Amino acid sequence: MVAKDLISFDNEVFSAYVFWSAVLVLKLLFMSLHTGRLRFKTRTFQNPEDLIKKGFKVGFDNPDIQRVRRAHLNDLENLLPFFVIGFLYVLIDPAPALAINLFRAVGIARIVHTIVYAVVVMPQPSRLIAYSIGLNATIYMGFQVVIAAL
């Protein structure tokens, strides 16, 4: 296949990549909304100008807000590499079943990671397992892209 055929919704690998990337972008946006919801719930904000009502306070130490912020930061650190490597992986024309399942694994793993880290906090190794699945799938795709580029 030529590149223009690979970057087409007729290519099931590209379609899967676009689908899971969009799901993960929406999840990132959800994390911002979740942080904001917790800020209003706890009446805790980071900037004095955000104190729109009496009883609101400036604070940086709310453990629930900090947990959600750490989960969000973890997403940013892991999803950017996935978005880049996933797209490059589409361009090497991988086996569709493998590629689709790798994208699915990253997407589901990142969703589970967020749930067990910031929504329904669960003990380790739940977060480590979710993190490792997404990371290993992304690393595998990265190695395949490097090998294909040699």
Give the pLDDT confidence score for residue 88 in this predicted structure: 97
Domains of the chain, residue spans: 3-149
The whole-angstrom separation of Cα 119 and Cα 21 is 21
Phi first, then psi: give them for residue 58, nearest 5 degrees: -85, 130
Give the pLDDT confidence score for residue 53 in this predicted structure: 67
The whole-angstrom separation of Cα 141 and Cα 68 is 28
Q: Which CATH number fits domain 3-149: 1.20.1260.10, 1.10.10.10, 3.40.50.300, 1.20.120.550?
A: 1.20.120.550
Give the pLDDT confidence score for residue 113 in this predicted structure: 97
Ranges of the chain whose pLDDT falls below 70: 1, 46-47, 50, 53
Q: Which residue carries 């490597």 as its tokens? A: 85
Give the pLDDT confidence score for residue 100 in this predicted structure: 98
Cβ neighbors of 55 (< 8 A, separation 6 or more) are 43
